[in-house]
A = this chain, B = another copy of it.
Amino acid sequence: MCQLLGMNCNVPTDIVFSFTGFATRGGLTDEHKDGWGIAFFEGAGVRLFVDHQSAIDSPVADLIKRYPIKSKHVIAHIRKATQGHVALENCHPFVRELWGRYWVFAHNGDLKNFAPTLDGSFTPVGTTDSERAFCYLLQQLRKQFGDVAPPLHVLRSAITTLTTEIASYGVFNMMLSDGSALFAHCSTRLHYIVRQHPFNQARLSDEDLSVDFSTVTTPNDRVAIIVTEPLTTNETWHAFNSGELKLFAEGMPVD
């Protein structure tokens, strides 16, 4: 299995603190050492960093921890290989373009006998069940809505139906974003927290590191962090229900 980390904010924010704790699980405090990746939206553009080295050993992960890239939508993943060998093309997040937007996807779980018919519009490059699910999801969205993105609430409903279908093949904890909103689906384990004014100190559970967010934020900032297992020991994280899809926009879940 793997672990997921997502961030959705109302203003561009760096993810250095959360990524530092998360990356520690990639080979040091946990066993997720078969590669990692992180994607940052900057406007419509995406910076994608992937590496088949463990997040602990990777010079690229080290750069991320030191270089505060500010983004409103981030998806990160550390991998423990279940299907697909350890190779760059099997590292999450995956990126494809649909409707003139980049879509970023990462998955934690394992799908059994998931072999949907793919029509060639989105074809996996690697050998993971995850990339197959991503290609199927985008293919079905394009089939359903043609060449123009539907309104967000219609899209949410369609993605809910598709994730429920895919999750019937196994564990499908996943995050998906087009840089305007972030979708997160939980089969088994996913937690989130919304940090907003008044900001407090947070203490990482995986590394001896604290940050006082009140010193690095303005009262208007709002940040949602979504992660497989809570990252801090002194904050209250909310568990997703099994089978639940949440949509995050502007730093909070949308009802």
Contacts and interface: CB of A to CB of B under 8 A. Distances in A.
Contacts of A121: 121
Number of this chain's copies in the assembly equals 2
Contacts of A91: 45
Given A60-B67, A95-B95, A146-B120, A45 B100 contact: no
B146 A125 contact: no
Interface string A11-51: 00000000000000000000000000000001111111111
A142 B146 CA distance: 18
A90 to B, nearest CB: 8
A235 interface: no
B126 A44 contact: yes
A219 B121 CA distance: 43
A251 to B, nearest CB: 21
Contacts of A102: 89, 125
Most interface-central of A52, A67, A88, A142 (chain B CB within 10 A): A88
A253 interface: no
Contacts of A60: 63, 67
A114 B43 CA distance: 25
A101 to B, nearest CB: 6
A89 B125 contact: no
Contacts of A169: none
A45 B90 CA distance: 8
A97 B63 CA distance: 27
A239 to B, nearest CB: 34
A125 B44 contact: yes
B89 A45 contact: yes
A89 B44 contact: yes
Contacts of A48: 48
A124 interface: yes
A44 B124 CA distance: 11
A154 interface: no
A45 B122 contact: no
A88 B45 contact: yes
Nearest to A45: B88
10 contacts: A42-B52, A42-B87, A44-B87, A44-B89, A44-B125, A45-B52, A45-B87, A45-B91, A48-B48, A102-B125
Pick the 3 closest A-B CB pairs, nearest first: A45-B88, A120-B147, A45-B89
